[in-house]
Structure 1
Amino acid sequence: MESYSESYKKAGVDVTAGYKAVALMKSHIARTMTQNVLTDIGGFGGLYALDVAGMQQPVLVSGTDGVGTKLKIAFLMDKHTTIGIDCVAMCVNDIICCGAKPQFFLDYIALGKNVPEKVAAIVSGVAEGCVQADCALVGGETAEMPGFYPEDEYDVAGFAVGVVDRNKILDSNTQKAGDVLIALQSSGVHSNGYSLIRNVFTVNSQNLARYFPDLGTTLGECLLTPTKIYVSAIQSLLQEVPVKSIAHITGGGFYENIPRALKKGLSAKINRNDVQVLPIFDLIAKTGNIPEHDMFNTFNMGVGMMVCVSAEDADRAVRVLNEAGETAYVLGELVESDEGVILG
């Protein structure tokens, strides 16, 4: 008998819409499948055969995150095909900081009303993020929750698992004064600080459609630019250069995230003029009259990821990252200090 409940539908949950959403998303999920995936979608769990050939002691690395209030921009613009990339990025960019390679990803979408085409659009972005991160989308959950979320709103979260050989886990204890910090440019705001952004700008459809010459696009399109996924570039770097630590610059900006990747007793000395700040951050600061310290303590300011290497490896690291398609440059150096970040 076909699964259907008229009573449940009257309560606001249409199970048939869920089946249609799954059917629509299958082609997107298929893009992410690898030979390691042993199950199709629809089961109670996703099976993944972990390839640990050549590893002496494989260690699993996990990460989970969401997209936050950046979703409000997607709602206003009625654009849902990129927000899934952000979800994947926020998870995989964290786990590569250990030196791990992402293996698989799962998503969770909760919404007020299941519109199959919208769900499929969201999942298309998740699949694109997985393709960029070279990991498989092995499962997920779509939860229709009327009365909990407004009908036209949703939330998205994700979970990623990677693997790294234990002897290759990055260790900041190998750092010393004089080591060099390298910046990898961000694609924009990424997925942090949107509560402050929505406080700075009057965020509505009209203002999001406003074109800014300095941005080269509308405010909305700029703010909705997907978070950059650094997996491929970092994997290339790890194969070529001894990396001491990596920091993903997310919520808390420079002042919170960079110290997490530093050895105790060392600080990051960064010349403010060397930071290649993207135009969107100048616009946010000017419009909201936000102090520079608060900007660097909230946003990535144009630096999505920071890598620490020995001084003798710095030029090669920058070259490898640039050849991998990133915009990389020397950001600063390590000095003996307990300040964490010295930005002057």
Structure 2
Amino acid sequence: MNSSNFARPSGLTYKDSGVDIEAGDALVERIKPFAKRTLRAGVLAGIGGFGGLFEVPKKYQEPVLVSGTDGVGTKLKLAFQLNRHDTIGQDLVAMSVNDILAQGAEPLFFLDYFACGKLEVETAATVIQGIAAGCELAGCALIGGETAEMPEMYPAGEYDLAGFAVGAVEKSKIIDGHAIAAGDVVLGLASSGIHANGYSLVRRILQQEQVDLADQLDGHALADALMAPTRIYVKPVLALLEKITVKGIAHITGGGLLENIPRMLADPLCAELDQHAWPLPPLFSWLAERGGVADDEMHRVFNCGIGMVLVVSAQHAQAALAELAAAGETAWLIGKIRARVEGEAQTIVI
């Protein structure tokens, strides 16, 4: 092909097609200070390269890498509606780092994927600043990511997010639930709200009831309760693991209490939870009432105030609760592990 074909004065540019390279470059420069605050030992190369480089800490004798990926679902729709983008990044980080924590892993680094139809630098920078803040809470480094500007793929003003976390755990300390036995107890750590699951049902209730998001709920704006960022449990739980044997961990995400707790249980076991052992936050009561949602459905969709579950032996329960309280967590003894009757569900809420 004749090279002159690339030099027409009136020829189209990438920007004409809807992709602004300069905006992408500006975003990279904006987020570098956010990422810098997340740096930790092990980072060899971060934002700006073709790949992030991380050296597994030498404290591990037999390191096993644990990875997780997730998004924030239709909570994004509320973020667009309210024009609130400052905490959705923490949600993104939390969904992945809390997942890998469930196997006893220390999150090491995180990467994000931000996709939009037209890149709004200010919005994207706000989201990524929230991602960096989540990484700081989790003690992991934001070492890379991708910003994809794809004209006509997304409605104006909207974007999508995905996140990827990698952590490490000593092979001998992997938490997989194999040690859980009848007689052990279940501890529940308080959630900060709905976290980032169940928002399709939340939004259906809001639409059906024609709810004004400026309405007050328990002395606070309903919008604030709905957008509360997902709690990150990494640092207090990792500290607990240094002192007390935790036999199983479940991150209460999509599927709620009923679907996530069985993921750490052997088939012959059942977790019996006492729903009166912890207070149901007002937001969940409101959703159940306004949506006419049955208790069983609430427990299958939402965390209902419990964002993470730990299983410990009965003799360690009070010590574990004390350690969690000292670390700033609110936690309760919410149930017990027992033998499962044939045909019975693996998690029962009574």
**CA deviation digits over 1:104-139, x for unaligned, max 9?**
000000011101111110100000000000000000
* Counterpart Cα distance in 1 of 2:325 and 2:208: 35
**CA deviation digits over 1:7-26, x for unaligned, max 9?**
11111111111011111111
- The question of whether the paired residues in 1 share the 8 Å contact of 2:106 and 2:238 is answered with yes
C-alpha displacement of 1:331: 0.7
- The question of whether the paired residues in 2 share the 8 Å contact of 1:77 and 1:205 is answered with no
* Counterpart Cα distance in 1 of 2:108 and 2:297: 36
2:257 aligned residue: 254
Amino acid at match of 2:37: R
2:301 aligned residue: 298
Amino acid at match of 1:178: G
Amino acid at match of 1:332: G
* Counterpart Cα distance in 2 of 1:234 and 1:133: 11
* Counterpart Cα distance in 1 of 2:294 and 2:304: 13
Amino acid at match of 1:264: D
Residue 269 of structure 2 corresponds to residue 266 of structure 1: yes
Within 5 Å, which residues of 2 pair with 1:76-155?
76-155=81-160
1:26 aligned residue: 32
C-alpha displacement of 1:83: 0.4
Secondary structure of the residue that 1:68 maps to in structure 2?
coil
Residue 349 of structure 2 corresponds to residue 343 of structure 1: yes
* Counterpart Cα distance in 2 of 1:40 and 1:197: 37
Q: Report the aligned-residue RMSD.
A: 1.5
Amino acid at match of 1:217: H
- The question of whether the paired residues in 2 share the 8 Å contact of 1:177 and 1:266 is answered with yes
1:327 aligned residue: 330
Residue 198 of structure 2 corresponds to residue 179 of structure 1: no
- The question of whether the paired residues in 2 share the 8 Å contact of 1:170 and 1:244 is answered with yes
**CA deviation digits over 1:169-227, x for unaligned, max 9?**
01322111110100000000000000000000129998122222x2x311111111000
- The question of whether the paired residues in 2 share the 8 Å contact of 1:105 and 1:130 is answered with yes
C-alpha displacement of 1:263: 2.2
- The question of whether the paired residues in 2 share the 8 Å contact of 1:67 and 1:86 is answered with yes
1:245 aligned residue: 248
- The question of whether the paired residues in 2 share the 8 Å contact of 1:277 and 1:302 is answered with yes
Name the CA shift for 1:19/1:206 in 2 (closer, same or farther; >3 Å). Answer: farther
1:233 aligned residue: 236
C-alpha displacement of 1:292: 0.8
Moved over 4 A (4+): 203-206
Amino acid at match of 2:300: N
Within 5 Å, which residues of 2 pair with 1:273-292?
273-292=276-295
2:48 aligned residue: 42
Unaligned 5+ residue runs, structure 1? none
- Bigger CA radius of gyration: 2
* Counterpart Cα distance in 1 of 2:239 and 2:47: 31
Which of residues 152, 157, 162 in structure 1 aligns to 2:162?
A: 157
Unaligned 5+ residue runs, structure 2? 1-10
1:166 aligned residue: 171
2:212 aligned residue: 207
Amino acid at match of 1:281: F
* Counterpart Cα distance in 2 of 1:16 and 1:6: 16
TM-score by length of 1: 0.95
Residue 320 of structure 2 corresponds to residue 317 of structure 1: yes
* Counterpart Cα distance in 2 of 1:334 and 1:206: 40
Q: How many residues align?
A: 337
Amino acid at match of 1:19: D
Name the CA shift for 1:203/1:220 in 2 (closer, same or farther; >3 Å). Answer: farther
